[in-house]
Amino acid sequence: MNEKVCVVGAGPAGIIAAGIAGSRGKDVILIDKNERIGKKLFITGKGRCNITNNAPIEDFFDNVMKNKNFLYSSFYSFSNRDIINLLETYGLKTKVERGNRIFPESDKSSDVIKAFQKFLSDNKVNILLNTNVNSIDIKNRKFIVNTNNDEMTFDKLVIATGGKSYPSTGSTGDGYKFAETFGHSITKIRPSLVPIEIKEDWIKDLQGLSLKNVTLSAHSKKRLLYEEFGEMIFTHYGISGPIVLSISNYLYRYINDGIRLLIDLKPALDNKKLDDRILRDFELNNNKKIKNSLDDLLPQKLIPIIIFLADIDPEKIVNQITKEERLKLLNSIKEFPLNFKSFRPIEEAIITSGGVVTKEINPSTMESKLVEGLYFAGEVIDVDALTGGYNLQIAYSTGYLAGNHV
Ligand SMILES: Cc1cc2nc3c(=O)[nH]c(=O)nc-3n(C[C@H](O)[C@H](O)[C@H](O)COP(=O)(O)OP(=O)(O)OC[C@H]3O[C@@H](n4cnc5c(N)ncnc54)[C@H](O)[C@@H]3O)c2cc1C
C-alpha cells in the first residue's frame, strides 16, 4: 500500500511539497483551513505575485536575512529556474521586471494559483479545504491529525502552515504550536518587512503621497545604520513601500537607540546642483510667495512641510528669502527628517521572522531531527529574506525537499 502523507497548509510551500510527494506515488492529502488554496499567494506582489527572482541562485543568499546556510541544499535542489519551468509546464507565462523580479505575464497572481492547481491535480493530490487542523498526535509512529471534521492517520507529515503575519489569509502561527508538541523549539517571533510608524504628527498630512527615486537612510545617535534607494509611500501613521520594508529589517537591533530616518528627496543632485536649481526656480518666481514657488521642484503635499522645517514664513516673497533660509530649505530637501516611533504589528508584516529552530531540521531533507517522518517547509521555519521574490523561493525550495523525501 502507498504511504499516506499529510501536508498541512496549502500555501506555496505546502503546494510544492504535496505535488512533488504525489509525483513520487505517495498517497497525499493537502489540508487547508481556507476555502481555496494559496490565499496569501493571491495577495502577493499587490495581486501580481513576484514569483521569484531572475538573479543567479548563488545571489539569493545575499538576500536571506537569517540562517542562509540552512538553505544551501534547498536552493540548489530546486532553484528559481525550476519553479519557472514547473509553472511554465502548467501554462503560466512569466516576465522579468526591474530588480530581476519575475511576475506572471498576465500580472495576475490568480494565474499562478491556476498553474499550481493543475500541478496538484496532475500529481493526484487530494485537497481538503475548509478544514482546520486543531492538533496532531503521534501514536505507534503514525501521525493522528485532528481536524474540525475528522480524525485521520498518516505515515508522514509536512507542516507548511506559514508564519503569523496577515492572519486573515490563514497564517495564524498554528505550526509553531504543532512543532512544540513534537518537542521542537521556536525562536522569538517578530514582524519583518513591516511598515514604520513616525513620531511627527504632520505625517498624516502626507498620507497617500508616494515618492520614487528617493534615498531613505536610518541613523542611530552615532552612525549611519542603513540606506536604500527606490520607492516609498506615506500613510496615516508613517511610512511604507519597498524601501521602508527593506530598511525595517535592519532596524530591530537599534529600536532603543532613538532611530532617526532621513529622506534625500533629490539624490541625483548634490548640494551645489540642488542650490543652483533652487536659485533658478527662485528667479522664475521672484515675486511669488515661497509657498507658491516650489511646484516644479517638489510634490504639492510636501511643500508646506519643507517650508515649515526650513523655518520660513510661507507668505514670504521669494526675492526676500535670505541665503541662510535658502540653505535651510535645501537641507530639508536633502535630509527630510522623520523620527522612528515603532514598527506596525505583525499582522501587517510581509514576513514573520523567527520560527522552528533550523538546527532541529535536516537541511538536506527538511525532516525533523527529533521525530522521524515529520517535515517542515516554508515560512514556519526560522528563515526569512528581503523583498524581490526570495521569500516565495524559500517556500518552494524547502517544500520541494520535504516533498521529495517524505
Ligand atoms: C501582502 C504580502 C505580499 C507578499 N508578496 C510577496 C511577493 O511578491 N514575493 C515573495 O516572494 N513573497 C511575498 N510575500 C511573502 C510570501 O507570501 C510568504 O513568504 C509565503 O506565502 C510563505 O509561504 P508558506 O507556504 O510557507 O505559507 P503561507 O503562504 O502562509 O501558507 C500557509 C497556509 O497554511 C494554512 N494553515 C495554517 N494553519 C492551519 C491549520 N491549523 N489548519 C489548516 N490550514 C492551516 C493557511 O491557511 C495557509 O493557507 C508576501 C506576503 C504578504 C503578506
CATH code of the domain covering residue 286:
1.10.8.50
One domain, residues 230 and 258: yes
One domain, residues 106 and 250: no
One domain, residues 305 and 246: no
One domain, residues 156 and 290: no
Model confidence at 1: pLDDT above 80: no
One domain, residues 64 and 156: yes
Mean pLDDT of 114-138: 98
Ligand 1 in reach of 109 Cβ (< 6 A): no
Of 44, 107, 158, the residue with max ligand 1 atoms within 8 A of its CB, to mutate for a pocket test, comes to 44
Angle in degrees, CA 108, 112, 114, rounded to 5: 105
Which is the closest atom of ligand 1 to the Cα of 398? 26
Ligand 1 in reach of 32 Cβ (< 6 A): yes
Which is the closest atom of ligand 1 to the Cα of 380? 26
Q: Choose the final residue of a domain: 343, 364, 387.
A: 343
One domain, residues 295 and 254: no
Query: What is the count of structural domains for the chain?
Result: 3
Q: Choose the final residue of a domain: 282, 304, 335.
A: 335
The x, y and z cell numbers of residue 13, run together, are 510551500
The conformation of residue 141, written as its DSSP 8-state character, comes to T
What confidence category does residue 33 fall into, taking pLDDT thresholds of 50, 70 and 90? Answer: very high
Which is the closest atom of ligand 1 to the Cα of 39? 49
Give the closest residue (by CA) to ligand 1 atom 37. Answer: 161
Ligand 1 in reach of 159 Cβ (< 6 A): no
Q: What is the DSSP string of 61-105?
A: GGGEEE-GGGGHHHHHHS-HHHHHHHHHHTT--EEEEGGGEEEET
Note the Cα 73 to chain centre separation in Å.
Answer: 22
Q: What average pLDDT does the chain have?
A: 96
Radius of gyration for the chain, computed over Cα atoms and rounded to the nearest angstrom? 25
Which is the closest atom of ligand 1 to the Cα of 377? 26
One domain, residues 123 and 81: yes
Mean pLDDT of 211-225: 94
One domain, residues 17 and 158: yes
Burial of 5 (0-12, 13-18, 19+ CB in 10 A): buried
Structure confidence at residue 221 (pLDDT): 85
Give the closest residue (by CA) to ligand 1 atom 35. Answer: 9
Ligand 1 in reach of 389 Cβ (< 6 A): yes
Which is the closest atom of ligand 1 to the Cα of 170? 47
Read off the pLDDT of residues 268-319 as tens digits, 9 standing for 90 and up: 999 999 999 999 999 999 999 999 999 999 999 999 999 999 999 999 999 9
Q: What is the DSSP string of 272-296?
A: HHHHHHHHHHHHHTTTSBGGGS-TT
Model confidence at 255: pLDDT above 90: no
What confidence category does residue 338 fall into, taking pLDDT thresholds of 50, 70 and 90? Answer: very high
One domain, residues 327 and 384: no
One domain, residues 298 and 363: no
Contact (CB, 8 A) for 380 and 162: yes
Ligand 1 in reach of 33 Cβ (< 6 A): yes
Q: Choose the final residue of a domain: 309, 335, 361.
A: 335
Give the closest residue (by CA) to ligand 1 atom 52. Answer: 350
One domain, residues 232 and 263: yes
Mean pLDDT of 252-278: 94
Domain that holds residue 310: 271-335
Q: What is the DSSP string of 226-266?
A: EEEEEEEEE-SSEEESHHHHHHHHHHGGGGGG--EEEEES-
Interval between CA 263 and ligand 1 midpoint (Å): 31
> What is the CATH classification number for the domain harbouring 226?
2.40.30
Q: What is the pTM of this model?
A: 0.93
Q: Which residue has the cell 522623520?
A: 338
What confidence category does residue 333 fall into, taking pLDDT thresholds of 50, 70 and 90? Answer: very high
Ligand 1 in reach of 75 Cβ (< 6 A): no
Structure confidence at residue 319 (pLDDT): 94
Model confidence at 7: pLDDT above 90: yes
Q: Collapsing DSSP states into helix, strand and coil, what is residue 26?
A: coil
Angle in degrees, CA 351, 229, 394, rounded to 5: 30
Which is the closest atom of ligand 1 to the Cα of 175? 38
Mean pLDDT of 361-365: 98
> What is the CATH classification number for the domain harbouring 119?
3.50.50.60
One domain, residues 318 and 389: no
- What is the biggest distance separating any 2 CA atoms in the chain, rounded to whole angstroms? 89
